[in-house]
Structures are given as structure tokens and as C-alpha cells.
Structure 1
Amino acid sequence: MAARDYYFDNVKFVLIALVVTGHLIEPLGTEPFLRPLYLFIYAFHIPLFVLISGYFCKNLSSGEYTNKVISRLVVPYVIFETLYSLFDYYVLGEQTLKFSYFTPYWLMWFLFSMILWKVALPYAVKIRYALPISIMVAILAGYANDAQYYASVSRTLVFFPFFLAGYYLKREHISRLRTPLIRCIAVIIVLTAAVAMILYGNGLEEKWFYGSVPYEAMGHPEWSAGLYRAAVYTGAVLLGGAVLVLVPENRIPLITAGGRNTLYVYLLHGFIIKLLAKASGFYALFRYPALQLLLPVAGILLTVLLSGGGLRHLFKGLVEPRLNRLFKKPLSNRSQSRTMSR
């Protein structure tokens, strides 16, 4: 068995911590002190998470590929889409009980789009120049006013180029970039992006980073609006690449182990954040900038808590259900079993 690559566990922990932190500070995302951080996170963390997800989709010819899509994505999606609807109604006091399996609930869009990306990937990689074509389709999708939240159409198209790029990405590509010179450049990129968000963040529309609405909905009906999406892509590639270069490769207590359980963190943290947002006066406690500093810290601590082995054991039946009996054995395995029984 090949030794586990701690590097990707570290990357995944950093990204899921950014997801949790971004969602935790979102209700205060317009506050002058938190807005630069919010924009900085959203400028790259979704594209980079999608890229890493695509990186781990190499075995397209495996007989288990479709089974894993169903057992690790489709079934957990249905379970948690249902649970979030029930949570809204019975815990948060929503007026109606609404199940919206084809309009994913808040954070559930990622699993829905992941299903579509994985289904499309074996066909997409057979197309010549698939990556540039997917980029063109994503840019053109912004001109379609009906490509929005239903079936996660907009986000699926907008972020698919990163998923496809992740499939083509190889470990040696990253290793070649981890030189002292490029690390220095990466630090400059991160610092430049942070300063830019501080100085110019107030005039930036965060919906450009969501990938969920057309250009016209963001006040850009002009024919050249696609250039803005191209600029957003460029920024995500530069900033995401800088993060990949800077994340350490060695094993780090809590972080490396936590990076193995990112799906648990992703699916569970929404319940806590929704509850906090509904709780009377919780965000009122963070009126002052000094106190707002505690929210990113709380995001990291919540990530560590939810990525622990205890919660994985507790919720494994929901997040990673065992569905072996649901699938037929491959024909070759069945033939082998008959031969051995003779």
C-alpha cells in the first residue's frame, strides 16, 4: 500500500477551514473589518476545493466508479438534503416543510454539482481541448439568464473547468513549483491579494465568486461581461496556486488527521452555523472589530471539532453509508465465484 500523502490532507483541512470560516462570518460579511477576509476567502477557496476534488478522480475505468458516485455522493446528498429541510422546519421554525432535491439547499449545491461533474468527467476527457472548451462554456453561461440555482446549473458549469483541471493535475506538477523562488512569489501574491481586498473590497461584488447568477443579475448586461469572469478565473488560479505552493507537506497534529474527514465537516457544520444565525443576539455580540477577530478563530476551532474521529464514528452511517448489497457484482467477479464453487 502506498504511503499516504500528508500534503493533500493538509490542503483539504485548510480549504474546509476556509469554508467553515466563510460561512461563519457571512452574516457579517459586509462589516468593514470582516469584508476583506470574506472576499479573500471566496476569491479562491471554492475553485481550489473543486480542483482538489477533481485530482482524486483518476480511476475513471474502475468498475467501482459509478458505485462510488451513488454511495458516496448521491445517497449522502439525498440524506442531508432531507435532514436540512427537516432541520429548517422543526428546529429553525420555517413556515413550510419544503424538500427541494433539484434546487440544492445552501451548501448542498457542492454535492449536487459534484455528482454532475463525476458523471460528465468520463465523457469530457474524451473530447480534444476539453479544458479550454469548458472555460468557454463557463464564460458563455453567464449570459444565460435562466442558468441559476435550479439543478445548480450555473455553478456546475462555472466551476467544472477547475474540476477538469484537477483531473489533469499530477503530483509532480505541484512538486516542481515548490521551489524557494516560487514560494517567495506565492507569498507576494497572497499579500497583494489581501491588500487589494482591504483597499478595494468595498467596490467588489462578491457574487462574482459564487458562480451562481448570470452577469445581468450582477448589473453587467453588456457583451464584455465575460471578461470579468475571465479575470475572476485568473485571480483564483494565481491565489489558489499560491496556497498550494505554501501549504506544508509534513504531518501536522490535528490538521493532517482532520483533512481526512472534510466531507463530515462540510455536511455537519451547516447545522451549527444556521442555528447560531437563528439564535437571538449571537451576531450582535460581534459589533466591535476586536470581537470580530474571534469569528475566524471560532471557524478553525469548529473545523477541528467536526473533523475529529469521534464524530466520524458517530455519523459514518449517514455520510458514508454501506451499500454493498445494493450493487450487483461485476460480471468477471461472478464468473470467478462460479468457477471457484465447482
Structure 2
Amino acid sequence: MLFAPVNPHNRPSARASPAPERTRDPFFDNAKYLLVTLVVIGHIWGSLLPAELDTVRGAYVVVYLFHMPAFILLCGYFSRGFTGRPDQVRALLARVLVPYLFFTVAYRALYTVIWGSPFELTPTEPTYLLWFLVALFLWRLTTPVWQAIRFAVPAAVAISLGAGLTGMDYELALPRVLMFLPWFVLGLRLRPEHFHRLRTPLCRAAAVVILLIALASAYVMAPSYDVRWLHMQYSNDDLHSAWPDYLVTRMLLFGASAVLVAAFFALVPTRRTPFTALGAATMFPFLTHGLLVQIGQAYGAGDQLARLGAWAVVVTPLLGVALSVLFSSAPVRRVLRPVVEPRFPRRLVRDQPKEQDRASPTRSLL
């Protein structure tokens, strides 16, 4: 699953019995499922639909303003207990690095088949959506650093803004790793009570108004807005922006994203829903839907969707929901588990000394 907490508890006494795994909060599983579905929908819009559809473009802008920040914020929130213990490193390697390497091969093979491109493996240059696994790997490794320093969020914001003023290449997806960093660090600083404060009728009503205003504004701005600002991988030179204008625009985007992220979490159901259980398996739709999107792009699915015009805003979310449900289903998980949630050989990572054992093992990393 794409998010799961790292156990932060102190070790028990020698006679203490293993503590039972904590009950899952349906709020977070609901949020995870909704976010991964928005990722699927966003990739359908970005890869299959023409930019001239202002209605779709406006919705695309709103979704991209908050869905990855919210996604990354939850990654940070569930990384709060990461200290680099051997069991945590083992989980990091198994649930992030191994799937990254497997799907790097899968995507490159697919590109060779559908586009005729040479089969070349360059693991240091993430393919398509796999940049997120590289970023998560690096972010989680640096968690102890961000937990130790003061003013971590302002420092991460400064790094993010500075990264946009450089001309770094895409090795290890560093532009995105650094530009999205503040959301991960912010997640590390959050506590359950911060989310509880959004679960009031007033916050929910305000969230609806905020989203409606955002959609209306994005629709008006859609024809002239450069969506590359939202991808967090382009420098000010790439965007043809003077550095003062770039910094101001990025800060405004941070503010707009923060408001929309809060609005999203305010609207997430807090009780169990028909899709709550799917929130425990978000890694599966995240990694696999891109293969179908790329196939659709190669074989003209975008032309069929484009004929729908503004109705594509209705049809594509339904398609995204269908794909996220399909790839989260038990049969698909059963087939893909060896490559999405593999077992990492214990002998390749040192065991935790017995005197440092924890009350319960680390749950699934993602």
C-alpha cells in the first residue's frame, strides 16, 4: 500500500508481549484511495486529452495544485517514526527500490513495443510516474535529518525555491525531489489533531466553496496558463520567468496548494465507505495504471475521448475510478504482489539487535 505508518514506539520491557497492530483509521484509507484515483485521472487528462479542452484543462489545473502535495504530505505523515532501523531499511528496499527497478524494466519494454524506441535501461533517470518512488526513497532516508533540525519546513521551502533557480538535470528526479520536499517535511510535522481540526461542518462548508472558486478561476485562466508550473520540475529559465517573478509565483502556488490540500482533507469521509478497504492497496493502481495510459496514448484512445468535448470531464473520472478499483482488486493484487510488495531477503540487511527490538514490526512501508 502506498502509505503506512512506521512504528515509532519505544522498545518494551523484556517480558512485554507483542503489542497488537493499531486499528486503521478509515479517514486515512479514504484519503489514500481518493488521492491515487486523482493521480490516475490526472494522468488520463495529461496524456490522452488535448490541451485545447478548456474545461478539462481547468479541472487539470485544480487537481494538480493539490493532489501530489496531499499525496506527499501523507507520505511524510506516515514517515514520522522512520529512524533507519534495519527492519525499516529492509521495508524501504522491498517496497520502493525493488518495485522501482521492476517497473523501470516494464515501462522501458512497453515503450519499445508501442513506440519502437530502443530498449535502454537508465535507472538513474526515472521513467514517467516512477519519479515518485525515487523521491519517496530519498525523502524517507532523510527523515531523521528533518526530524532533528529546527525550522525544518521553512528550510525545505528555501531548498525548493532554490532548486527552481538552478539548471540541474533530471538525474534521480532531483528537480521534483527538491521542489516537492516541503510537503513531505510538513507531513513529518503534522499530528492527528491537525487533521481532526478540519473535520467540522464549518470547515467542510468552506472547503466546498473553496473548490468551486478554484474550479471557476482555473476555467477562466485555462487558455493562457502554463501547466508546467504545476509539474515542479522546470527551472525559471525553462519557464521564461525572471527569478523575482519566479519566486513570487512559486510562493503563490504554495499558498494556493495549501488551501486546496486543507479543503481536500476537510471533505474526506471519516467513516468507513465502500472504497475504504482499497486505500490499503494504493501502490497497485499507482504503479500499473500508467502502463494502460501509455498504451492508450499510443493507440489513439485520446482521440476518442477528445470527441466527447466537455463531457470528458465526466467520463474520464469514471474511467479513473474504474481503473483504480480494478488494480486494487484482490485478483490483481494476488498476481502483482511478488513485484509490488516483494519479500526482501533478510540476509541482505543486518538484523536488529535484540536489545533494540520494538514492540511490533514495521507495517508496509507505503
8 Å CA contact 1:11–1:259 kept in 2: the answer is yes
Equivalence for 1:100: 122
Gaps of 5+ in 1: 336-342
Gaps of 5+ in 2: 1-19, 358-366
Equivalence for 1:82: 105
Q: Tell whether 2:342 aligns with 1:331.
A: no
- Take 1:298 and 1:60, find their aligned partners in 2: how far apart are those partners? 36
Quote the offset at 1:294 in angstroms: 1.5
Deviations 1:147-206 (A, max 9, x none): x42211111011111001111111111112211212221111111111111111222111
Q: Mapping of 1:109-128 within 5 angstroms?
A: 109-128=131-150
Higher mean displacement: 28-37 or 136-145: 28-37
Equivalence for 1:24: 44
**TM-score, L = length of structure 2:** 0.87
Equivalence for 2:162: 140
Deviations 1:212-258 (A, max 9, x none): 110111110343311111111111110011000111111111x1111
Deviations 1:103-150 (A, max 9, x none): 10010000011111011111122111111011011111111022x422
Q: Tell whether 2:149 aligns with 1:164.
A: no
8 Å CA contact 1:54–1:165 kept in 2: the answer is yes
Q: Tell whether 2:65 aligns with 1:43.
A: yes
- Take 1:248 and 1:219, find their aligned partners in 2: how far apart are those partners? 41
Equivalence for 1:338: none
- Take 2:28 and 2:356, find their aligned partners in 1: how far apart are those partners? 36
* Matched letter for residue 304 of structure 2: L
Deviations 1:306-337 (A, max 9, x none): 111211111000001111433232232799xx
Tell me which of the two structures has the higher relative contact order, counting C-alpha pairs closer than 8 angstroms and 6 or more residues apart.
2
Q: Secondary structure in 2 aligned to 1:218?
A: coil
Aligned length: 331
Q: Tell whether 2:251 aligns with 1:230.
A: yes
Q: How big is the alpha-carbon RMSD for the aligned residues of Structure 1 and Structure 2?
A: 1.7
Q: Tell whether 2:94 aligns with 1:71.
A: yes
* Matched letter for residue 184 of structure 2: F
* Matched letter for residue 79 of structure 1: F
* Matched letter for residue 209 of structure 2: I
* Matched letter for residue 110 of structure 2: F
Q: Tell whether 2:81 aligns with 1:59.
A: yes
Higher mean displacement: 194-203 or 314-323: 194-203
Equivalence for 2:304: 285
| Identity in percent | 30
- Take 1:224 and 1:294, find their aligned partners in 2: how far apart are those partners? 37
Bigger share in helix? 1
* Matched letter for residue 28 of structure 2: F
From 29, 41, 47, the counterpart of 1:9: 29
Equivalence for 1:339: none
